[in-house]
Structure 1
């Protein structure tokens, strides 16, 4: 049988794939009867030969082909614009255009599974294999559905979770189901049948801790001195030195300056994340902040950071005093900006 599994919810997809792998016979024979091919470099002839191999001491063998559909996502190559779209798709497939003739001949002893991430409906390879395959799609849970998804996974892991903890996980990790699964397993092991609390998430989940420093940096840069001082007091009381906070403010200013420059060059958001070495929550937050500050404002904060660094290095102020002065000066400059 032929299967097609694709979508951005990698966690659910891999769970479905694990069930299909079980068709490869006893676990001790699966190394022999399960073959995984990399779609980015496998050729059609190798693929066909692998599918035609008979299973060893089992009724079925499993062939998993990962990433082949992504290879044919539209990226502006292929036939010229004057050609019909279907013909352009055939040109882009090259030797793989013969797959629609080959798939009906795949032996009944082979479970062929195409696995991929996000695939567009205009993908030419998708059109070739869909008529022959049992299709399962795995979209990410929506922001609206994510709290129930988190609650449901916690229940499967044998724990309950309070609403504030759910909100923090959803806001800081977003829809990355693999990361959520990993973090919830860690929290479930820590609570062992109890209730995961908001404090547990803040203490054990690195994404939540990063969100806390982001919130503090937000307060500093937006001139909310009272809020910033209270949040930073909590961060330093938890063991982070004052110079860490100064470093994080400086890092965020540099990222915002870089984001402004990339935006001016009309670089797409996804590529901006790659160039800034950011993804997930940090990238989303930085791109949101970028529009809140002018280049002049960021340069002013950068000068204040240099002054704080100089005060620490020359002994004019200790780290905590330099940080407090920095917050107040940024706040004062915020109230006078035009």
Structure 2
């Protein structure tokens, strides 16, 4: 069948579309035998004309229409309770005629994002097309997808590295693929390991410092030491770690003062410039839990450690262990 519908995750849709281009032939053949249109760039009659043309020095032509189903989908606007203008669909109610007139030398492909099952255009096209729904993989499926992409590059990856990538980047397949390309080149002929991900992937490296800071301040020594060890292996120095701990202590101190004055949570988040709901909630919980005396002792300990390292009286690794120990003592 020469009519296809690819809809779902944008990365998976584009990957499937690449396969359609490859079926046409080499790049120079594809350039002269393929046309790609956005939904607002073409009308039904124009599509009819384009599809009717014969291939040039090739056996097939490819015509791609992108975003058409979502563009004309009748959905209720949540904010205004209105429906899209039905006239926007009327221009395409003859799409079946175009499909039936399609010459055997033309492959027509509709690509789109997530489309509702009751989409009117999809309902018209579906009986005459091969429809591929490509949902974004999640949880175990996402881990399997990561392993498959690594295998495509003739490389291997450890389960721990898969878990780190899946957890910290999530189902952003385009970003995951870019990071896997970088990691594959870095690892070369050995498996991609957790330390590679910690060192090269910004999302993992940045999140590790926040995990470490929270664990230090909350007295979770095991988590703190593990996260700090990962940070040290990735090149983080003591000054950076101390600065991040001091930053969170400052936020906790300010939040505690604002809470005592009766400030609302929303305004507090704005004043502290914390936009992430989870981070704001965590800071408020810590502010309620920490006493003024404990905050003072932690501040003094940070200052003493910083001076001891800078004056050569203490090694960085010892200072890090002492910082975790100080937090435990003050629990």
Question: TM-score w.r.t. structure 1 length?
Answer: 0.68
Cα deviation, residue 125, structure 1: 2.1
Task: Find out whether 1:199 has 2:167 as its counterpart.
Answer: no
In structure 1, distance between residues paired with 2:42 and 2:240? 47
> Unaligned regions of 5+ residues in structure 2, if any?
256-264, 311-318
Q: Deviations over 1:247-306 (max 9, x none)?
A: 76759998xx9xx649x9xxxxxxxxxx96xxxxxxxxx4444444549939x99xx8xx
In structure 1, distance between residues paired with 2:244 and 2:119? 43
In structure 2, distance between residues paired with 1:51 and 1:253? 64
Counterpart of 1:51?
Answer: 51
> Unaligned regions of 5+ residues in structure 1, if any?
265-274, 277-285
The match for 1:149 among 129, 145, 148 is 145
The match for 2:100 among 77, 100, 104 is 104
Counterpart of 2:259?
Answer: none
Cα deviation, residue 145, structure 1: 2.4
Q: Deviations over 1:142-183 (max 9, x none)?
A: 302233332333233222222211211111122222222222
Cα deviation, residue 201, structure 1: 1.4
Residues 125/253 of structure 1: CA separation in 2 closer, same or farther (3 Å cut): farther
Give the secondary-structure state (helix, strand or coil) at the position aligned to 1:115.
strand
Greater C-alpha radius of gyration: 2
The match for 2:287 among 285, 297, 307 is 297
Counterpart of 2:209?
Answer: 213
Counterpart of 1:10?
Answer: 11
Residues 251/49 of structure 1: CA separation in 2 closer, same or farther (3 Å cut): farther
Alignment of structure 1 residues 148-297 onto 2, 5 Å: 148-219=144-215, 222=218, 224=220, 228=224, 231-232=227-228, 235=231, 238-240=234-236, 244-245=240-241, 250=247, 261=266, 286-294=276-284, 297=287
Indicate if the aligned counterparts of 2:65 and 2:110 stay in contact, CA closer than 8 A.
yes
Task: Find out whether 1:116 has 2:112 as its counterpart.
Answer: yes
In structure 2, distance between residues paired with 1:71 and 1:248? 46
The match for 1:128 among 119, 124, 137 is 124
